[in-house]
Structures are given as structure tokens and as C-alpha cells.
């Protein structure tokens, strides 16, 4: 994203009831079940959801107490929590198939620690992290507000608030912001598409949603009424997995920075923390956020790369986008790597990732969320490195 001139930038979000997010939620519920039973379980779970069918597939290594019957039950409970009890997709009546099998011995050989060999990365690839000053959460504003709109609609729906009576779980949002000299100043358009019961008119849904969207944006940021688009096709009754097949890992830009920063390509949900697609992306966000929170830069992008079976990252790259405050990026990279061990084991231990903390990450973004010390969630959103970073650079 540019830091000069005037331009428009758009990001989208999808609700927990979107078919792909239903799949992500179930995959992360499976992961949590294994980690609850054994913190060192290995899980790579993919989920497919369609009309009254849930299919789990992938590779696992964990206790025999985590049975297919238990996982089928937990998948139903995840769907129940989202709110699906419709003719075409119901937590009660959907068929659940579990096709999980043992993790490949070849992969395990590369990942497992043995003798003098540290734990290796569960796959090759590159991962990115990003932070900026556009919101208090140090997230890009378009994706942050797109998430917030849908989160508030979901909370009202689950609390049976009459303000959203008749709205159903599947929903999408899209927020376009105008930037002046690299800073967001207001929304030029907002799109919200939400599933609803038969008979609820488009104009009525628009009246419902206007105050929710307006209150989710900073004061004075609401777009003109003519640029507020609600269910643009006019009707959205058939939704969720009954309306569109859902798959784990298809919303990677929604999960991260809304297109405002690079993405390495790997999805997160259903993967245990030996998979650097997930854990290293969390570590990169953690480091980028701490750099910005420490006042060392206004924007920070970090890239790391790994080879399967190798513990140390092959590269660590910092880009402060010209916003660094008398900070040398090469020195910053060295300081950060002294503070945090970026091996898979180092990341897992530093961020306490071997815990059942993942189902809550499956919707409304993995980043820009509030850490919960009691539950141990979103540890990568902490800013506990700030004092050490400031000392290292004489601040």
C-alpha cells in the first residue's frame, strides 16, 4: 500500500457462518481436541462442508482417546455454536465423515527432534508479518473495520437482539477507505451481504445494518447512503454450506491483512504449530507489531523462510517502508533474532502455542485481536518486547 498521494483501498471479511469459515472452525476444533489431549500432537486437518455433509480429512498423530466419534460430535457442536439448524445444513442432521489417518513417517522424520537435531519446520515456504499505525490495534484499517462490522452483527444475532431479527449466520462485508498522504480518512463505500429468512426485504435489512456499520467506523467515516450496498442481488436466503461448498484455508487474505501486506500463501486453520505456515506467520506479526509499538517505525513488514526438516530460518527480512525512526533494518533483524528464537520450537515455546487456543482464531482474523491472558489466546498480539527493543535502540 502506498504511503503518499490520495487513493482508495478495499478489504473484505466473511462471517463465521461463511462456508469456508465453517470449514476453518471445524478444522481448528479438531486441532484443539488433539492439543487438549496431548500438547505435542501433530495435526493437519482439512474440512469440506456442503449440503448436510461435513467431511474431515488429513493427517494426525495423537492419543487414541481422540476418536472419530468424538471428532464428529465436536464438529456438530462447532456448527451448533455458529448457528446452523436449517433444512440444507443442520448441526443435528448433517452427515459427518472422518477420514483422518496417521501422519507421514517421512514428514515426522524431518520434523521430530532426535539426538543433536532440533525440531525441524513442518514444511518449506515463506511467511510474512505486518503492522502499521492505522488503528490502535496496529492493523490496516480496511480489514480491521470489515471484521468489526461482521463481529458486531454476529454478537447481536447470537444474543437474539431484535435489531437483527431475521438475519442468519452467513455474511460478507467489504470496506473501501479513502487515503490521503497514506492515512485513512473515511469510507467511500461499504458492502454487506447477509443471509436472512424468507420475506425480509432488502430495504428493511439496510435499515437494520446502517446504525451497526456507522457505529463500527470512526466518527464521521460513514459512506454516503448511496454507496452503502446491502445484499446487492436483492435476496440472500439460501446460504452457508447449502448455498456454496466450503473448504479449509480458502480465506487467507481475510485471515491476515486484507491485501495490505504480502502473504506467503499458506493457510492457518487445522495446522499444529510445527507447521510454520501458521506459527511463523504468528511470530512475524508479533515481531512487526512490537517494532511499531516500540516507536521504531510507523510500518513494518517481516518475511521469514524455512526448509522442511530444518530448524533455523533460511532468511529473515525487515522492511520499514521508509518510516524507520533512525533504525537500521539489518541491525533490527539481528536484535530481534537475539530476542526471539525463530526456530519452530523457539516460536512454539515463546508464544505458548501448544495449547487448545485455535478455534477462536478461525473467524474475524488471526491478527488485531485482544490477547486473553487467562485463556492464553492471541499471544502473538502482545507487545511485551517493546521495553527491550527500546533499550536496544536507546529510546
- Give CA–CA dist 30/73, Å, rounded: 10
390 is in an annotated binding site: no
Is there a binding annotation on residue 158? no
The answer on whether 319 is annotated among ligand-binding residues is no
Q: Give the count of alpha carbons within 13 A of 178, CB side only.
A: 12
191, β-bridge pairs: 174, 229
Tell whether 271 is in a known binding site: yes
Q: How far apart are CA 152 and CA 229, in angstroms?
A: 18
Is residue 119 annotated as involved in ligand binding?
no
- Radius of gyration, CA atoms only, the chain: 21
Ligand-binding site membership of 46 (annotated): yes
Q: Report the C-alpha gap between 79 and 96 in whole angstroms.
A: 11
117 annotated ligand binder: no
Q: Would you say 250 is a known binding-site residue?
A: yes
Residue 267 marked in a binding site:
yes
Tell me the sheet residues that pair with 193.
172
Is 275 known to sit in a ligand binding site?
Answer: yes
Q: Is 219 annotated as a binding residue?
A: no
CA 129 to chain centre: 12
Closest CA to 94 of 138, 137, 64, 55: 55
- The reply to whether 170 sits in an annotated binding site is yes
Q: Give the span between the Cα atoms of 260 and 132, in whole angstroms.
A: 10
Looking at beta carbons, which pairs linking 29-32 to residues 24 or more positions away fall under 8 Å? Answer: 29/74, 29/75, 29/77, 29/78, 29/359, 30/56, 30/60, 30/71, 30/74, 30/75, 30/100, 30/270, 31/269, 31/270, 31/271, 31/272, 31/356, 31/358, 32/356, 32/357, 32/358, 32/359
Distance CA 137, CA 139 (A): 5
Say how far apart CA 164 and CA 200 lie, in whole Å: 11
Is 251 annotated in a binding site? The answer is yes
103 annotated as belonging to a binding site for a ligand: yes
Q: List CB contacts of 303: < 8 A, sequence separation 6 or more.
A: 126, 127, 128, 262, 264, 284, 315, 316, 317
Residue ranges at the known binding site for Mg(2+): 20
Residue ranges at the known binding site for L-methionine: 59, 103, 244, 275
Residue ranges at the known binding site for K(+): 46
Residue ranges at the known binding site for ATP: 18, 170-172, 235-236, 244, 250-251, 267, 271
Residue ranges at the known binding site: 18, 20, 46, 59, 103, 170-172, 235-236, 244, 250-251, 267, 271, 275
Amino acid at each position: 500500500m502506498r504511503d503518499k498521494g490520495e487513493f482508495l483501498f478495499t478489504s473484505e471479511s466473511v462471517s463465521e457462518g461463511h462456508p469456508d469459515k465453517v470449514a476453518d472452525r471445524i478444522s481448528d476444533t479438531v486441532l484443539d481436541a488433539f492439543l487438549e489431549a496431548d500438547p505435542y500432537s501433530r495435526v493437519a486437518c482439512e474440512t469440506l462442508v456442503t449440503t448436510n455433509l461435513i467431511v474431515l480429512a488429513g493427517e494426525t498423530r495423537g492419543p487414541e482417546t481422540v476418536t472419530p466419534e468424538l471428532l464428529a460430535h465436536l464438529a456438530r457442536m462447532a456448527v451448533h455454536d455458529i448457528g446452523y439448524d436449517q433444512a440444507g445444513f443442520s448441526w443435528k442432521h448433517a452427515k459427518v465423515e472422518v477420514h483422518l489417518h496417521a501422519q507421514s513417517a517421512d514428514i515426522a522424520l524431518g520434523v521430530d527432534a532426535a539426538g543433536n537435531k532440533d525440531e525441524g519446520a513442518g514444511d518449506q515456504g515463506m511467511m510474512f508479518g505486518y503492522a502499521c499505525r492505522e488503528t490502535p490495534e496496529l492493523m490496516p484499517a480496511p480489514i480491521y473495520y470489515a471484521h468489526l462490522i461482521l463481529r458486531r452483527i454476529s454478537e447481536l444475532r447470537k444474543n437474539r437482539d431484535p435489531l437483527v431479527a431475521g438475519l442468519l449466520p452467513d455474511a460478507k462485508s467489504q470496506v473501501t477507505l479513502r487515503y490521503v498522504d497514506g492515512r485513512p480518512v473515511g469510507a467511500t463505500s461499504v458492502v454487506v451481504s447477509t443471509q436472512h429468512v424468507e420475506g425480509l426485504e432488502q430495504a428493511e435489512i439496510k435499515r437494520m445494518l446502517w446504525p451497526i456499520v456507522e457505529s463500527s467506523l470512526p466518527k464521521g467515516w460513514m459512506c454516503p447512503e448511496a454507496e452503502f450496498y446491502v445484499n446487492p442481488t436483492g435476496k440472500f436466503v439460501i446460504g452457508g454450506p447449502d448455498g456454496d461448498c466450503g473448504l479449509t484455508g480458502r480465506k487467507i487474505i481475510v485471515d491476515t491483512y486484507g491485501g495490505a501486506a504480502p502473504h506467503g500463501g499458506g493457510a492457518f486453520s487445522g495446522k499444529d504449530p510445527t507447521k510454520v505456515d501458521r506459527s511463523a506467520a504468528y511470530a512475524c506479526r508479533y515481531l512487526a507489531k512490537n517494532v511499531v509499538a516500540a516507536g521504531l517505525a510507523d510500518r513494518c513488514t517481516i518475511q521469514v523462510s524455512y526448509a522442511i526438516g530444518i530448524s533455523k530460518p533460511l532468511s529473515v527480512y525487515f522492511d520499514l517502508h521508509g518510516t524507520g525512526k533512525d533504525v537500521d533494518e539489518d541491525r533490527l533483524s539481528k536484535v530481534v533474532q537475539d530476542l526471539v528464537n525463530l526456530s519452530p520450537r523457539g516460536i512454539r515455546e515463546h508464544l505458548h502455542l501448544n495449547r487448545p487456543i485455535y478455534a477462536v482464531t478461525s473467524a474475524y482474523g488471526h491478527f488485531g485481536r485482544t490477547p486473553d491472558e487467562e485463556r492464553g489466546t492471541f499471544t502473538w498480539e502482545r507487545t511485551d518486547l517493546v521495553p527491550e527493543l527500546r533499550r536496544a535502540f536507546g529510546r
